[in-house]
Amino acid sequence: MSQISYPVYKLPGPPSEEEGVRFYETYSNKTHKYSRTLIDDLKILQPTLGRRRLKLAIRGEKLFNFKIACFSLGEVVKLSKGATMWLDSKGVLFELPRTSKFKLEAKKIKATYQKTGYVILDVEGEATRFRSLYGPPSLEHQALIMYSGNIRLFYGYCLPGAKFLYRKV
Protein backbone atom coordinates (compact mmCIF):
# COMPACT_ATOMS: atom_id res chain seq x y z
CA MET A 1 0.00 0.00 0.00
CA SER A 2 2.90 2.38 0.57
CA GLN A 3 3.86 2.26 -3.13
CA ILE A 4 0.49 3.58 -4.36
CA SER A 5 0.69 6.82 -6.36
CA TYR A 6 -2.36 9.04 -5.92
CA PRO A 7 -4.81 9.79 -7.37
CA VAL A 8 -6.17 6.29 -7.91
CA TYR A 9 -9.10 5.45 -10.15
CA LYS A 10 -11.89 2.97 -9.46
CA LEU A 11 -12.46 0.51 -12.29
CA PRO A 12 -15.75 -1.32 -12.98
CA GLY A 13 -13.90 -4.65 -13.16
CA PRO A 14 -10.67 -6.24 -14.30
CA PRO A 15 -9.68 -4.85 -17.70
CA SER A 16 -8.51 -6.92 -20.65
CA GLU A 17 -4.86 -6.65 -21.64
CA GLU A 18 -3.09 -7.44 -24.91
CA GLU A 19 0.56 -6.61 -25.58
CA GLY A 20 0.70 -4.00 -22.80
CA VAL A 21 -2.56 -2.27 -23.78
CA ARG A 22 -5.32 -2.28 -21.14
CA PHE A 23 -8.87 -1.81 -22.37
CA TYR A 24 -12.57 -2.59 -22.00
CA GLU A 25 -14.44 -4.12 -24.90
CA THR A 26 -18.20 -3.76 -25.33
CA TYR A 27 -20.63 -5.22 -27.86
CA SER A 28 -23.34 -3.10 -29.47
CA ASN A 29 -26.57 -4.92 -30.37
CA LYS A 30 -27.48 -2.00 -32.62
CA THR A 31 -24.37 -2.10 -34.84
CA HIS A 32 -23.41 -5.74 -34.09
CA LYS A 33 -19.82 -4.66 -33.54
CA TYR A 34 -17.33 -4.63 -30.70
CA SER A 35 -15.78 -1.36 -29.58
CA ARG A 36 -12.74 -0.78 -27.39
CA THR A 37 -12.13 1.98 -24.91
CA LEU A 38 -8.49 2.19 -23.87
CA ILE A 39 -7.38 2.61 -20.28
CA ASP A 40 -3.59 2.59 -20.66
CA ASP A 41 -0.83 1.67 -23.09
CA LEU A 42 2.19 0.53 -21.10
CA LYS A 43 4.38 0.51 -24.25
CA ILE A 44 4.31 4.33 -24.38
CA LEU A 45 7.48 5.47 -22.64
CA GLN A 46 6.02 7.99 -20.20
CA PRO A 47 6.28 7.86 -16.38
CA THR A 48 2.61 8.43 -15.53
CA LEU A 49 -0.80 7.21 -16.57
CA GLY A 50 -1.88 10.78 -17.39
CA ARG A 51 0.97 11.36 -19.83
CA ARG A 52 0.37 8.02 -21.56
CA ARG A 53 -3.35 8.78 -21.87
CA LEU A 54 -2.53 12.22 -23.29
CA LYS A 55 -0.44 10.54 -26.02
CA LEU A 56 -3.36 8.17 -26.74
CA ALA A 57 -5.79 11.10 -26.97
CA ILE A 58 -3.47 12.93 -29.38
CA ARG A 59 -3.44 9.82 -31.57
CA GLY A 60 -7.27 9.92 -31.59
CA GLU A 61 -7.85 6.76 -29.55
CA LYS A 62 -11.14 6.33 -27.70
CA LEU A 63 -10.36 6.49 -23.95
CA PHE A 64 -12.23 4.97 -21.02
CA ASN A 65 -13.68 7.70 -18.77
CA PHE A 66 -12.79 7.27 -15.11
CA LYS A 67 -15.84 8.05 -12.99
CA ILE A 68 -14.27 7.97 -9.51
CA ALA A 69 -10.86 9.27 -8.44
CA CYS A 70 -9.58 8.97 -4.87
CA PHE A 71 -6.84 11.03 -3.29
CA SER A 72 -6.30 9.12 -0.02
CA LEU A 73 -6.30 5.59 1.37
CA GLY A 74 -9.35 6.48 3.48
CA GLU A 75 -11.39 7.16 0.33
CA VAL A 76 -10.17 3.92 -1.30
CA VAL A 77 -11.21 1.90 1.77
CA LYS A 78 -14.57 3.65 1.91
CA LEU A 79 -15.38 2.86 -1.74
CA SER A 80 -13.98 -0.69 -1.85
CA LYS A 81 -16.51 -3.48 -1.88
CA GLY A 82 -14.91 -6.92 -2.01
CA ALA A 83 -12.80 -7.33 -5.12
CA THR A 84 -12.82 -3.71 -6.34
CA MET A 85 -10.12 -3.00 -8.93
CA TRP A 86 -8.11 0.22 -8.72
CA LEU A 87 -5.56 1.84 -11.02
CA ASP A 88 -2.98 4.23 -9.59
CA SER A 89 -1.47 7.24 -11.38
CA LYS A 90 1.59 5.22 -12.43
CA GLY A 91 -0.62 2.61 -14.11
CA VAL A 92 -0.40 -0.12 -11.45
CA LEU A 93 -3.53 -2.25 -11.00
CA PHE A 94 -4.36 -3.30 -7.43
CA GLU A 95 -7.14 -4.30 -5.09
CA LEU A 96 -7.35 -4.19 -1.31
CA PRO A 97 -7.04 -7.59 0.37
CA ARG A 98 -10.54 -8.82 1.19
CA THR A 99 -9.57 -9.55 4.76
CA SER A 100 -8.59 -5.99 5.61
CA LYS A 101 -10.36 -4.78 8.77
CA PHE A 102 -10.03 -1.16 9.84
CA LYS A 103 -10.97 0.43 13.16
CA LEU A 104 -12.76 3.78 12.96
CA GLU A 105 -13.06 6.14 15.90
CA ALA A 106 -15.41 9.14 16.03
CA LYS A 107 -13.70 12.24 17.43
CA LYS A 108 -14.82 15.81 18.00
CA ILE A 109 -13.61 18.40 15.51
CA LYS A 110 -11.96 21.29 17.37
CA ALA A 111 -11.48 23.59 14.38
CA THR A 112 -11.55 23.69 10.59
CA TYR A 113 -9.26 25.78 8.40
CA GLN A 114 -10.48 26.51 4.88
CA LYS A 115 -7.76 26.37 2.22
CA THR A 116 -8.04 26.66 -1.55
CA GLY A 117 -9.59 23.36 -2.67
CA TYR A 118 -9.56 21.57 0.69
CA VAL A 119 -10.16 21.85 4.44
CA ILE A 120 -7.73 21.17 7.31
CA LEU A 121 -9.33 19.50 10.35
CA ASP A 122 -8.01 19.87 13.88
CA VAL A 123 -9.36 16.84 15.76
CA GLU A 124 -9.54 16.42 19.53
CA GLY A 125 -6.98 13.95 20.92
CA GLU A 126 -4.85 13.79 17.76
CA ALA A 127 -1.40 15.31 17.40
CA THR A 128 -1.76 15.59 13.62
CA ARG A 129 -4.22 17.51 11.48
CA PHE A 130 -6.24 15.89 8.71
CA ARG A 131 -7.09 17.05 5.23
CA SER A 132 -10.47 16.70 3.53
CA LEU A 133 -11.77 17.89 0.16
CA TYR A 134 -14.85 19.32 1.90
CA GLY A 135 -15.79 20.52 5.38
CA PRO A 136 -18.22 18.89 7.81
CA PRO A 137 -21.93 19.20 6.86
CA SER A 138 -22.62 20.90 10.21
CA LEU A 139 -20.78 21.93 13.36
CA GLU A 140 -22.15 18.97 15.33
CA HIS A 141 -20.59 16.35 13.03
CA GLN A 142 -17.58 14.37 14.21
CA ALA A 143 -14.56 13.17 12.26
CA LEU A 144 -14.12 9.43 11.68
CA ILE A 145 -10.45 8.54 12.03
CA MET A 146 -9.32 5.22 10.52
CA TYR A 147 -6.52 3.26 12.16
CA SER A 148 -4.30 0.93 10.16
CA GLY A 149 -1.39 -0.12 12.35
CA ASN A 150 0.33 3.10 13.43
CA ILE A 151 -1.22 5.09 10.58
CA ARG A 152 -4.17 7.41 11.19
CA LEU A 153 -6.27 8.56 8.24
CA PHE A 154 -9.35 10.75 7.93
CA TYR A 155 -12.24 8.51 6.80
CA GLY A 156 -15.26 10.81 6.79
CA TYR A 157 -17.86 12.51 8.95
CA CYS A 158 -20.55 11.10 11.25
CA LEU A 159 -23.23 12.37 13.62
CA PRO A 160 -22.51 12.41 17.35
CA GLY A 161 -23.14 9.17 19.22
CA ALA A 162 -20.82 6.86 17.35
CA LYS A 163 -17.70 5.84 19.30
CA PHE A 164 -15.93 2.90 17.65
CA LEU A 165 -16.82 1.40 14.30
CA TYR A 166 -15.15 -1.23 12.14
CA ARG A 167 -14.98 -1.33 8.36
CA LYS A 168 -14.12 -4.60 6.67
CA VAL A 169 -13.22 -4.71 3.01
Mean pLDDT computed over every residue of the chain: 88
pLDDT given for residue 169 in this prediction: 58
User: Domain locations in the chain?
Assistant: 8-94, 101-168
- Average pLDDT of the segment spanning 105-111: 92
Q: What is the pLDDT of residue 9?
A: 96
Taking the C-alpha atoms of residue 92 and residue 72, their distance in angstroms, rounded to an integer, is: 16
- What gap in Å lies between CA 125 and CA 138, rounded to an integer? 20
What's the average model confidence in pLDDT over 134-163? 85
pLDDT attached to residue 123: 93
pLDDT of residue 100: 67
In this predicted structure, the answer to whether residue 7 has a pLDDT above a threshold of 90 is yes
pLDDT reading at 165 higher than 90: no
Q: Which residues contact 76 (CB under 8 A, 6 or more apart)?
A: 8, 70, 86, 96
Whether 138 shows a pLDDT value over 90: the answer reads: no
